[in-house]
Amino acid sequence: MEMNLIDKLDVKDGNVDIQYHATTPYCPPVFALKISQDLKSNLLQVKGVKGASVMVTGHYLSDAVNKQVNKPAPAPPTPSARPPPTAPPATGGGGTAGFQDTLLFALGGAAVLAGAASIAYRRKVIRKR
């Protein structure tokens, strides 16, 4: 089935530039991004293709999608000059992490108890009808 979504296709020296339009200006952005990423990754798998640029037009977030899809690949990590750690870090005291964990655990427990009490009360009310 031909949908005629490709507006422009240029191939030069192993580099492919493709421009397409979305089926609707308000296509969900995750779909527009996924379509653009799939186009680019499939183009790069074609034998002889060295690079690819994909541009979507007619979408309300086309600038953001195009920027995301065509951003340069991250550089490979460089080896660190620092040797890897051989022992766990020393613990430092202080801080409020322990207090926060305890508080969140207590609040979560209270919420579970309140929910259980609510269910028990509803069952009691329903049985009396």
Question: How confident is the model over 72-127, as pLDDT tens digits?
Answer: 878 877 777 777 777 766 665 556 666 777 777 788 888 888 888 888 877 777 77
Closest CA to 40 of 20, 61, 63: 20
The structure's pTM equals 0.56
Q: Report which residue type is found at 88.
A: P
Q: Report which residue type is found at 58.
A: G
Q: Name the residue with tokens 């065509």.
A: 70
Per-residue model confidence (pLDDT) at position 21? 92
Q: How many CB atoms are closer than 10 A to CB 17?
A: 15
Q: Does residue 60 register a pLDDT over 80?
A: yes
Please report which confidence band the pLDDT of residue 13 belongs to, taking 50, 70 and 90 as the band edges: very high
Q: Does residue 33 register a pLDDT over 80?
A: yes
Q: Name the residue with tokens 């020296």.
A: 13
28 three-state secondary structure: coil
Per-residue model confidence (pLDDT) at position 1? 43
Report the share of the chain in percent with pLDDT over 90: 43
User: Mean pLDDT score of the chain, rounded to an integer?
Assistant: 84
